[in-house]
Structure 1
């Protein structure tokens, strides 16, 4: 029996909105499109986690795009063009996009600056035999061990809650956002 591979997408929250601006630099978005070992529910059917190293081979060899709302007509960056940078670190899949000077990219930057859009997604194919299922728990847990990444996307609906991204403009605003995040974490600790 031959199974057909199906492209999958996952959507994640973008938090830690930061801005940095110099008149001569293009606007950039950076953050984490995926966070390792962060469990999330996929449509109430099963839970899923991404193992460290799941993206390594793909980001080293594949031409990956950054999109707006999974729309292939709204390309924000591309690894081949050096306008999308991807790397794995201990936390997850880090990305940086140098936005084009297009109407949809400017609209996206404005929506992110206002806080209306603060989430991210990624599209992938699971490599054969590179997923692990644990049916000993309810719901079952799927762990992605290696994927072929074909896109990261800035969008408005999350699946993974632990990602971060930043609209980059000024160091002063960066520091303000970092202070606000630290304060929010302290408040959350007190409320536990």
Structure 2
């Protein structure tokens, strides 16, 4: 089963009407913008995190509800691009109940945030500061959403990733310590053999007439 994390923020959603076509424009993710996730860790998104993800067939949803599709990259009604700021989203809003309601809510300012659903495929952890920092390097992108409450409370997977990273780091540390101990023991054995050999040589010289 694929477990999806959700992130987002109040980065703003704009409306644009052109020749009868209504388009929502905003950012689902902002690069190198530190966000504290549930007081457990800080998360930032690398500018190259979406490089491979834009090739996927991604849906645009309302509030992450898979039953409320308002756009799709495959059909061209959802367009995703990456610029210096982040992951830019353009949604051609459909003439449906969800589409019309969403357009009105954005125009009124009731909905002003965007979010995205994803699975981390590559990440780095840094625990040198007061709080662990997770840098998301690569993701599998499933959906983007216009949201009244962009999700920042999805901490479980991040904490699990941190614990897994710590376990790997601890194992690597123990393996390195074992290799160092084995190398030191081997060095001692060589030194002991050389010392014993030297003693034998001195004994032979002393016994010689």
Question: What is the TM-score with the length of structure 2 in the denominator?
Answer: 0.69
The CA deviation at 1:11 is 2.2
Alignment match of 1:138 (pick from 130, 154, 179): 130
Aligned pair count reads: 152
Structure 1: gaps of 5 or more residues? 161-192
Higher relative contact order (CA 8 A, sep 6+): 1
User: Which aligned pairs between 1:68-87 and structure 2 lie closer than 5 A?
Assistant: 68-87=62-81
- Structure 1 or 2, whichever has the larger Rg, is 2
- Per-residue CA deviations over 1:118-167 (Å, capped at 9, x if unaligned) read 0111000111xx1000111122110000000111010111357xxxxxxx
**Conserved 8 A contact 2:68-2:98:** yes
**Which residue in 2 is equivalent to 1:90?**
84
**Which residue in 2 is equivalent to 1:37?**
32
User: Which aligned pairs between 1:95-134 and structure 2 lie closer than 5 A?
Assistant: 95-127=89-121, 130-134=122-126
Taking the aligned partners of 2:11 and 2:24, their CA distance within structure 1 comes to 10
The CA deviation at 1:5 is 5.8
Divergent runs of 4+, >4 A: none
1:146 partner SS: strand
**Conserved 8 A contact 1:63-1:78:** yes
**Which residue in 2 is equivalent to 1:164?**
none
Q: More helix per residue: 1 or 2? A: 2
Taking the aligned partners of 1:19 and 1:71, their CA distance within structure 2 comes to 21
**Conserved 8 A contact 2:15-2:106:** no
Taking the aligned partners of 2:97 and 2:68, their CA distance within structure 1 comes to 10
**Conserved 8 A contact 2:16-2:25:** no
